[in-house]
């Protein structure tokens, strides 16, 4: 363990602080609030009891009250995010009211420990996958949040038509849209990809046999609590209804439609 104390500051130096070790934890937080307040993919936090933190230039700290219980502290001059604290009980993630949370990126001295986990990992940005092999946790709990994903690729004859169709069904724009490939993020860390027929033939060879548009070349089985809404969106976007929503023999309520390229879309839930 390095000797006390640890020093940190904002970008412009108007706010400085000193904390006495040991820290309570160090973790990377991927929640939407941390991302929004920093503009980064995640924030790395630590904490110490409030009586082991000394803030200099505290008059320059601007406090943002994000809820009845939570405040965020940043420099009024340069905007650096520095602190996070809970002034009362009641926050769903139960931050400790006797501690001050600090952004590790604003420290000038090394801490007594390395980051130990990725927390609120279910809220992460879709384009970041950690390579550090730390535990990935759901919320601020010890429950694991799997990093595995499923990608379903459909071979489409008209990529713009298919993009428009699935944007209407899913009610969101694509997360990726480049020549030859479009991707939509789905629940459960899955991805729906739309690849042009030319693209897959280029990838696997021109002799690749594909069924003609209008034939059932694949099926997407999507479990979602919004299944009835998505079913109607599909019909409104031009899908052909194959089977109305009803209870199936395996215990799920499912409807089936055919998209403009002949792929079967099963909506369960």
In this predicted model, what pLDDT tens digit does every residue of 23-81 receive, in sequence order? Answer: 999 999 999 999 999 999 999 999 999 999 999 999 999 999 998 899 999 999 999 99
Rounded CA separation 162/227 (Å): 19
The predicted pLDDT at position 97 comes to 94
Smallest Cα–Cα separation from 168: which of 256, 231, 222?
231
CATH number of 6-123: 3.90.1590.10
Q: What is the pLDDT of residues 225-239, one digit of tens each?
A: 788 999 999 999 999
DSSP 3-state of 161:
helix
So where are the chain's domains? 6-123, 150-268
CB 259 within 8 A of CB 267: no
The predicted pLDDT at position 215 comes to 65
The predicted pLDDT at position 46 comes to 98
Contacts of 269 (CB under 8 A, 6+ apart): 223, 224, 225, 226, 227, 252, 253
190 has pLDDT over 80:
no
Q: How confident is the model at residue 193 (pLDDT cuts 50, 70, 90)?
A: confident
Q: How confident is the model at residue 165 (pLDDT cuts 50, 70, 90)?
A: very high
6-123 and 150-268 in the same fold:
no
Q: Please count the CA atoms within 13 angstroms of the CA of 184 that sit on its side-chain side.
A: 21
The predicted pLDDT at position 149 comes to 56
Rg of the chain on CA atoms, in Å: 25
CATH number of 150-268: 3.10.180.10
Measure Cα distances from 47 to 102, 133, 140, 218, 219 in Å: 6, 23, 14, 50, 48
* pLDDT mean over 149-155: 77
The predicted pLDDT at position 100 comes to 97
Measure Cα distances from 1 to 51, 99, 110 in Å: 20, 21, 10
The predicted pLDDT at position 13 comes to 97
Helix H or strand E segment including 37:
helix 32-38
Q: What is the mean pLDDT of the chain?
A: 88
What is the DSSP secondary structure assignment for residue 213, as one 8-state letter? Answer: T
What is the DSSP secondary structure assignment for residue 144, as one 8-state letter? Answer: B
Residue that wins the pLDDT comparison between 158 and 199: 158
Contacts of 92 (CB under 8 A, 6+ apart): none
Rounded CA separation 62/10 (Å): 12
The predicted pLDDT at position 189 comes to 61
The predicted pLDDT at position 1 comes to 45
Please state whether 262 falls in left (phi above 0), alpha (psi between -120 and 50) or beta: left
106 CA to centre of own chain: 24
Residue that wins the pLDDT comparison between 200 and 148: 200
146 has pLDDT over 80:
no
Neighbours of 205 (CB within 10 A): 8
The predicted pLDDT at position 3 comes to 56
Please state whether 188 falls in left (phi above 0), alpha (psi between -120 and 50) or beta: left
* 265: β partners: 220, 257
148 has pLDDT over 60:
no
């Amino acid at each position: 363990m390095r000797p006390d104390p640890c020093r940190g500051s904002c970008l412009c130096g108007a706010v400085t602080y000193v904390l006495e070790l040991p820290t309570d934890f160090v973790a990377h937080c991927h929640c939407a609030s941390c991302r929004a307040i920093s503009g980064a993919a995640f924030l790395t936090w630590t904490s110490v009891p409030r009586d082991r933190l000394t803030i200099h230039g505290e008059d320059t700290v601007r406090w943002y009250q994000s809820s009845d219980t939570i405040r965020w502290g940043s420099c009024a001059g340069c905007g650096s995010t520095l602190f996070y604290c809970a002034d009362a009980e009641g926050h769903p993630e139960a931050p400790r009211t006797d501690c001050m949370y600090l952004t590790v990126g604003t420290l000038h001295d090394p801490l007594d420990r390395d980051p130990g986990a990725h927390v609120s990992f279910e809220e992460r940005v879709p384009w970041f996958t950690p390579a550090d092999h730390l535990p990935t946790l759901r919320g601020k709990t010890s429950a694991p949040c799997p990093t595995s994903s499923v990608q379903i690729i459909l071979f489409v004859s008209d990529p713009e038509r298919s993009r428009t169709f699935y944007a209407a069904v899913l009610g969101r724009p694509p997360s990726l849209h480049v020549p030859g490939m479009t991707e939509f993020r789905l629940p459960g860390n899955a991805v729906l990809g739309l690849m042009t027929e030319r693209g897959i033939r280029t990838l696997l060879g021109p002799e690749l046999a594909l069924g003609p548009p209008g034939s059932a070349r694949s099926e997407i089985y999507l479990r979602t609590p919004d299944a009835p809404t998505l079913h109607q969106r599909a019909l409104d976007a031009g899908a052909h209804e194959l089977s109305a929503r009803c209870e199936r023999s395996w215990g799920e309520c499912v409807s089936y439609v055919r998209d403009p390229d002949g792929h079967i879309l099963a909506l369960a839930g």
